[in-house]
């Protein structure tokens, strides 16, 4: 399935992490306030070392929380929980500020991930969620694909009310839940989708959808279990249950991983915790949280390749090389030839590439504290290959970049303050190429001049 370029730079994701890390990290005492079972863990004596776990909320809920309590009760050590999102956890383990990370996706092939160990410990279901009052009772894989791709926009098109489908997503590049869903539906984890609002993690996304009967997003079965405000929409007539995951009949299942760094000073202790999760006491805890211990789903591993092929065939997509989340050069200009063609996604793509808001984004993020569930962060310049989202809505702030219908070239309209060098950097091309494509004898530009910024 052809894809269109990413819309959220890795730089913005890191700014989000910097701006919100203090507000969103949860140490054991704070975590205990909202999780009664964690309260006992916070005060349990532990003779072993303290390990810092950081990662996505899905793995915190489905794997780490109560398993860590069992680990501490055995006297092996203390686990400090910092649930936030996948990218922050992997970054922290890579740079040594955390000992373990939780991830709802495997390594992405980047240099950073290559140096880490991703150990699958459980199977969970990706669930397409909406508010519990929404009457839609089933979606096909094709319908889910087309909703995210921007081809289906109204609930009435899938048997619901005559109302727009508000697709919500997690903003962070490489978010495990988003990355995994897009890998299944599009054959590429960094496939951008048309969504009007972005969140810092799945927990905030769930809170947003619970307030909006027209909202739709992806979460995990473990993450929403017991939440009466949300419902998981059956897919292809199959409900998301542990039994349906175990036999492979529910198609959107994924492994959950614990990530460790072999070069960490606490590598041995971290690995001991990973091993403990896979013992019988550890697996017994997993089963209480609507997840399947990894060893119990050995048949799922065997069927994974054929399952992915069937999904892609059903939705009319094809597998493609997955660009590493942090890989350079995966910009719109570099990938225009494989852009999607639906009107909404073309409009969104045109908008995002024109947005020159890096300075404004930085200033805005510096003012943020706490939740950013109401902040739209799509349309950011300097996008690199990442699993991010674009808005379908137009904006008067956009429109500098245009592409012809066949996507053979991209143009840019010069505005005040532009230089040939800044334009080249923004579109990931060489200054010499801009001169060549536009027959420029020097670097002087005129206000309103239209430049070609990609190769035909």
CA 327 to chain centre: 16
Q: Are 419 and 276 in the same domain?
A: no
Which residue from 410, 389, 390 is spatially nearest to 400, judged by alpha carbons? Answer: 410
Domain boundary among 281, 300, 319: 300
Please give the pLDDT value at position 321.
53
Per-residue pLDDT of the chain (456 residues; tens, 9 = 90+): 444 433 333 333 443 333 333 333 333 333 444 443 343 344 444 567 899 999 877 678 767 888 999 999 888 889 999 888 888 899 999 999 999 999 998 887 777 788 899 999 999 999 999 999 999 999 999 999 999 999 999 999 999 999 999 999 988 757 889 999 999 999 988 888 888 788 888 889 999 999 999 999 999 998 898 899 999 999 999 999 999 999 999 999 999 999 999 999 999 999 999 999 999 999 998 998 888 999 999 899 999 999 999 999 999 988 765 444 333 322 222 222 222 334 444 454 444 444 434 434 444 444 434 333 333 333 333 333 334 444 444 333 323 333 333 334 578 888 877 888 788 878 878 888 888 888 887 878 888 888 888 875
pTM: 0.65
Which residue from 133, 235, 214, 101 is spatially nearest to 168, judged by alpha carbons? Answer: 214
Q: Are 277 and 425 in the same domain?
A: no
Distance CA 403, CA 429 (A): 16
Q: Is residue 421 part of a domain?
A: yes
Q: Is residue 36 part of a domain?
A: yes
Q: Is residue 224 part of a domain?
A: no
Write out pLDDT tens, residues 311-349.
999 999 887 654 443 333 222 222 222 223 344 444 544
Distance CA 111, CA 400 (A): 34
Give the CATH number for residue 91: 3.40.190.10
Domain boundary among 234, 265, 300: 300
Domain residues for the domain of 417 are: 409-456
Domain boundary among 267, 300, 333: 300
Strands annotated E in 20-159: 50-56, 78-84, 100-103, 117-131
Which residue from 101, 110, 11 is spatially nearest to 322, judged by alpha carbons? Answer: 110
Please give the pLDDT value at position 195.
81
Q: Which residues of 39-66 are buried (b: 16+ CB within 10 A; e: fewer)?
A: bebbebebebeebbbbbbbbbbbbbbbb
Write out pLDDT tens, residues 346-382.
454 444 444 434 434 444 444 434 333 333 333 333 3
Distance CA 69, CA 99 (A): 17
Please give the pLDDT value at position 409.
52
Total domains present in the chain: 2
C-alpha dihedral (75, 78, 83, 88), degrees to nearest 10: -120
Q: How many CB atoms lie within 10 A of CB 386?
A: 31
CA distances from 171 to 14, 180, 255, 367, 379 (A): 11, 14, 21, 18, 11
Q: Is residue 293 part of a domain?
A: yes
Please give the pLDDT value at position 111.
78
Query: How far apart are the two ends of the chain, measured CA to CA in Å?
Result: 21
Element spanning 14, H or E: helix 10-24
Q: Are 258 and 118 in the same domain?
A: yes
Please give the pLDDT value at position 125.
95
Q: Is residue 28 part of a domain?
A: yes
Instruction: Provide the β-strand partners of residue 123.
Output: 255, 292
Q: Which residues of 387-419 are buried (b: 16+ CB within 10 A; e: fewer)?
A: bbbbbbeebeebebbebeeebebbbbebeeebe
Distance CA 18, CA 13 (A): 9
Q: Is residue 285 part of a domain?
A: yes
Q: Is residue 264 part of a domain?
A: yes
Q: Is residue 39 part of a domain?
A: yes
Residue pair 255/123 in contact (Cβ under 8 Å)? The answer is yes
Phi, psi at 415, each rounded to 5°:
-120, 175
Give the CATH number for residue 423: 3.10.350.10
Sequence-distant (≥ 6) Cβ neighbours of residue 95 within 8 angstroms: none
Residue pair 235/140 in contact (Cβ under 8 Å)? The answer is yes
**Summary mean pLDDT of the chain:** 74
Q: Are 267 and 413 in the same domain?
A: no
């Amino acid at each position: 399935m052809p894809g269109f370029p990413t819309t959220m730079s890795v730089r913005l994701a890191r700014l989000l992490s910097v701006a919100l890390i203090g507000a969103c990290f949860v140490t054991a005492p704070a975590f205990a306030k909202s999780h009664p079972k964690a309260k006992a863990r916070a005060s349990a004596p532990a003779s072993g070392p303290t390990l810092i776990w950081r990662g996505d909320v899905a793995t915190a809920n489905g794997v780490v929380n109560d398993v860590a309590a069992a680990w501490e009760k055995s006297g092996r050590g203390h686990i400090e929980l910092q649930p936030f999102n996948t990218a922050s956890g992997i970054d922290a383990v890579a740079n040594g500020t955390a000992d373990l990370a939780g991830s709802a996706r495997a390594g992405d092939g980047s240099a950073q991930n290559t140096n880490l160990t991703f150990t699958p410990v459980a199977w969970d279901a990706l669930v397409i969620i909406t508010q519990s009052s929404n009457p839609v009772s089933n979606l096909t894989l094709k319908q889910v694909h087309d909703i995210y791709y921007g081809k289906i926009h109204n609930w009435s098109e899938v048997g619901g009310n005559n109302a727009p489908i508000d697709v919500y997503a997690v903003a962070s590049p490489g978010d495990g839940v988003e990355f995994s869903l897009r890998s299944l539906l599009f054959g590429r984890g960094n496939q951008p989708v048309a969504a009007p609002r972005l969140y810092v993690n799945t927990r905030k996304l769930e809170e947003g959808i619970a307030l909006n009967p027209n909202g739709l997003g992806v979460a995990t079965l473990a993450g929403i279990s017991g939440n009466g405000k949300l419902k998981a929409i059956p897919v292809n007539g199959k409900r998301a249950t542990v039994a349906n995951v175990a036999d492979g009949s529910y198609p959107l299942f994924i492994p959950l991983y614990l990530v460790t760094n072999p070069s960490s000073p606490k590598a041995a202790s971290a690995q001991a915790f990973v091993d403990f999760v896979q013992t019988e006491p550890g697996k017994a805890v997993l089963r209480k949280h609507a997840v399947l211990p990894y060893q119990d789903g050995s048949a799922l591993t065997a069927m994974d390749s054929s399952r992915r092929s069937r999904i892609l065939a059903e939705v009319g997509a094809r597998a493609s090389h997955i660009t590493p989340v942090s890989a350079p050069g995966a910009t719109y200009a570099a990938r225009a030839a494989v852009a999607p063609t639906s009107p909404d996604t073309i409009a969104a793509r045109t908008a995002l590439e024109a947005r020159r808001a890096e300075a404004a984004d930085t200033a805005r993020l510096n003012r943020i504290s706490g939740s950013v569930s109401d902040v739209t962060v799509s349309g950011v310049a300097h996008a690199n290959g990442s699993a991010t989202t674009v808005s379908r809505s137009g904006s008067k702030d956009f429109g500098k970049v245009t592409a012809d219908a066949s996507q053979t070239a991209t143009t840019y309209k010069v505005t005040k303050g532009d230089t040939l060098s800044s334009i080249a950097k923004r579109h990931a091309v060489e200054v010499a190429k801009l001169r060549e494509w536009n027959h420029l004898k020097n670097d002087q530009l005129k206000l309103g001049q239209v430049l070609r910024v990609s190769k035909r």
